[in-house]
Amino acid sequence: MRLLLIEDERELADALSGALSKHGIVTDHTTHLADAFELTRQNSYDAILLDRRLPDGEGLSFIPMLRRTGTDTPIIVLTARNEPLERVEGLDVGADDYLGKPFLVDELMARLRAVLRRPPSLTELQISVGRMAIDPLHLSVTVESIPLDLPRRELLVLVALAKRKDKTVLRSTLEAAVYNYEEEIQSNALDAHISRLRKRLLDAGAGIAIHNIRGVGYLLKEE
């Protein structure tokens, strides 16, 4: 396993590299964002550890840059800036985890494992379809910048479909997205939600269509 560590405090960086190597992890280290960007282009990392305060800028700005190149390498932010709001900020720009300094190496390892266990994140921060923008993290929806508020269940259906726009989403997947295990469902509730959602999207002029694939599921695409 190979990590990229972006951290300007030499001592911490060395200590961390040493600790990780005991777990059989190879670590590349750099102190500047510019170098980091170059390194990610030349190598393939299993994960990236990122400090926020860096000599040539705010570490977080690195995340959208990287994501824009289509890279979905997990990123864990390591920083002294550990206020709740700052954590939200970090996760919302696309970090996979956020760990405040000081931290135990054991906790870092555990979070690393957790992050690597996940399937490569399909979760974009912002999905746009038709005249519509959907933020799956905050569960908010806008049509041409005008917020559209939808009932909870319809919203969940929409997000589940939007995350895989232009691809079929199985019925069972949708049910799993909207209902948890306790909530039984013994009618066509899902169909009803789809129907009502369609009507609302039409009224709002969202410019998207939800197609049914008989016996399989549904598919969302621009109309």
Instruction: Give the residues lining the site for DNA (CB under 7 A).
Output: 151-154, 171, 179, 183-189, 191-196, 198-199, 212, 214-216
Angle at alpha carbon of residue 216, lines to 125 and 210, rounded to 5°? 50
Structure tokens at 123: 């979760």
Among DNA, a copy of itself, none, residue 44 binds (CB under 5-8 Å by kind): none
**Residue 134 CB, nearest approach to DNA (Å):** 17
Tell me which residue of 53, 7, 44 sits closest to 26, measured CA to CA. Answer: 44
104 Rama class: left (phi>0) / alpha (psi -120 to 50) / beta = beta
Strand positions, DSSP E, 87-129 = 97-100, 127-129
The distance of closest approach from Cβ of residue 152 to DNA in the complex, given in angstroms and rounded to an integer, is: 4
Q: Considering CB distances under 5 to 8 angstroms, the limit depending on partner class, which of DNA, a copy of itself, none binds residue 142? A: a copy of itself
Closest separation in Å from C-beta 216 to a copy of itself: 5
Residues numbered 134-173 forming contacts with a copy of itself, rule: CB under 8 A: 135, 138-140, 142, 145-147, 149-152, 155, 164, 166-170
Which does residue 168 touch among a copy of itself, DNA, none (CB within 5 to 8 A, set by kind)? Answer: a copy of itself
Residue 1 CB, shortest distance to a copy of itself, in Å, is 17
CB of 190 to DNA, least distance (A): 7
* Cα–Cα distance for residue pair 8/150, rounded to 1 Å: 45
Q: Where are the beta strands (DSSP E) in the chain?
A: 2-6, 26-30, 47-50, 53-54, 57-58, 75-79, 97-100, 127-129, 132-135, 140-143, 146-147, 168-170, 208-213, 217-222
Of residues 116 through 135, those in contact with a copy of itself by CB under 8 A are 135
Q: In what order do the strands lie in the sheet with 140-143?
A: 127-129, 132-135, 140-143, 146-147
Picked from a copy of itself, DNA, none, the partner binding residue 189 (CB below 5 to 8 A depending on kind) is: DNA
Binding positions for a copy of itself, rule: CB under 8 A: 135, 138-140, 142, 145-147, 149-152, 155, 164, 166-170, 211, 213-217, 219, 221
